[in-house]
Amino acid sequence: MSSLQFSIIQTSLFWENKSANLDMLAQKIRSIEVPTEIIVLPEMFTTGFSMQPEKFAETMDGPTIDWMRRLSIEKRAIITGSIIIEENGNYYNRLIWMLPNGQMGHYDKRHLFAFAGEDQHYTSGNKRLIASVKGWKINLQICYDLRFPIWARQQSFVNVKMGDENEYAEYDVLLYVANWPEKRSHTWKTLLTARAIENQCFTIGVNRVGLDGNNIAHSGNSMVVGPLGEVLYHHADEENIFHIRLQKEEVKNTRDHFPFWKDADDFSIL
């Protein structure tokens, strides 16, 4: 069974200031001295949670994508986080999954936060992205997606029922990048734990800290939760860079010893 090392960057962000954020994050990424495989940044890491995509959007060949590619190659690690992207006249809150070979994947946020008007400025995505790394599968999601369990729900437990004993589930890790407000931090922590338990997987939530341009406070509370709901890492209020190595055998043992997936309902997302 393989292991996978994550480096989680919980940081404050400069409001709608791309160059300041990229300079700051480059310093933090370059400060990582331990060998790592995946470096995780918060949601909208170049701007904060901005509702001005027409001013700050980039294309998929823009400077931030180039920045991610160069740093990923330099650190020999995957770098992921979301930025504002314009494509075909639409704006997306898009998570970029940048590989150290220069290739990338992306996920567009499915659930737009209407409470803050995100749905008025951005276009919703309609496809999940489950990435593969060293035999691990990682389901990549963004912030408000956390409130919607069906979008995260494992859909392939049925494969084992059909006789494929090597395929327990769609994924082993559920990863959220976020700008989640401090006033709803209890919800954030509770739902991260719930998603881990119900999907029998590791769940990682990476959130920002500090005040944004709308004077909304963020307390971080970045977490790593094990497949039985045990909290492996939690940090609040302060900037922090945390490294954790996850063991795939822990996921397998959980599903072997507690085969609750056998009783799951089959369903399809239309």
Report, as an integer, the average pLDDT of 133-141: 97
43 is catalytic: yes
pLDDT confidence tier of residue 157, bands split at 50, 70 and 90: low
Answer yes or no: is 242 within a domain: yes
Answer yes or no: is 269 within a domain: no
Q: Spot the catalytic one: 109, 118, 201, 250.
A: 109
- The per-residue pLDDT of the chain, averaged, comes to 94
Domain boundaries, position 172 = 3-263
Count the domains in the chain. Answer: 1
Instruction: Fill in the amino acid letter for 27.
Output: Q
Return d(Cα 231, Cα 204) in angstroms, integer: 10
Answer yes or no: is 268 within a domain: no
Contact 98, 107 (CB under 8 A): no
Contact 243, 206 (CB under 8 A): no
Return d(Cα 66, Cα 46) in angstroms, integer: 13
The 8-class DSSP code of residue 83 comes to E
The 8-class DSSP code of residue 136 comes to E
Answer yes or no: is 85 within a domain: yes
pLDDT confidence tier of residue 156, bands split at 50, 70 and 90: low
Least confident of 75-79, 103-107, 137-141, 168-172: 168-172
143 is catalytic: yes
Q: Spot the catalytic one: 16, 43, 58, 182.
A: 43
Answer yes or no: is 159 within a domain: yes
Contacts of range 59-67, beta carbons closer than 8 Å, 24 or more positions apart: 59/85, 59/86, 59/87, 60/85, 60/87, 60/106, 63/18, 64/18, 64/22, 65/96, 65/98, 65/104, 67/22, 67/26
Residue 109 has pLDDT above 50, yes or no: yes
The pair of structure tokens assigned to 202 is: 């590791």
Answer yes or no: is 82 within a domain: yes
The better pLDDT of the pair 52, 158 is held by 52
What are 199-256's pLDDT values in tens digits? 999 999 999 999 999 999 999 999 999 999 999 999 999 999 999 999 999 999 999 9
Nearest-Å Rg of the Cα atoms of the chain is 18
What are 53-76's pLDDT values in tens digits? 999 999 999 999 999 999 999 999
Q: Report which of 270, 228, 236 is spatially closest to residue 253, judged by C-alpha positions.
A: 228
CATH number at residue 110: 3.60.110.10
201 is catalytic: no
> Checking DSSP bridges between strand 38-40 and strand 78-87, what pairing results, if any?
parallel
pLDDT of 1: 66
Contact 240, 191 (CB under 8 A): no
Strands (E), 109-165: 129-133, 136-142
Residues 249, 251, 252, 258, CA torsion sign: positive
The better pLDDT of the pair 155, 73 is held by 73
Q: Spot the catalytic one: 118, 143, 189, 201.
A: 143
Answer yes or no: is 199 within a domain: yes
53: part of which helix (H) or strand (E)? helix 53-56
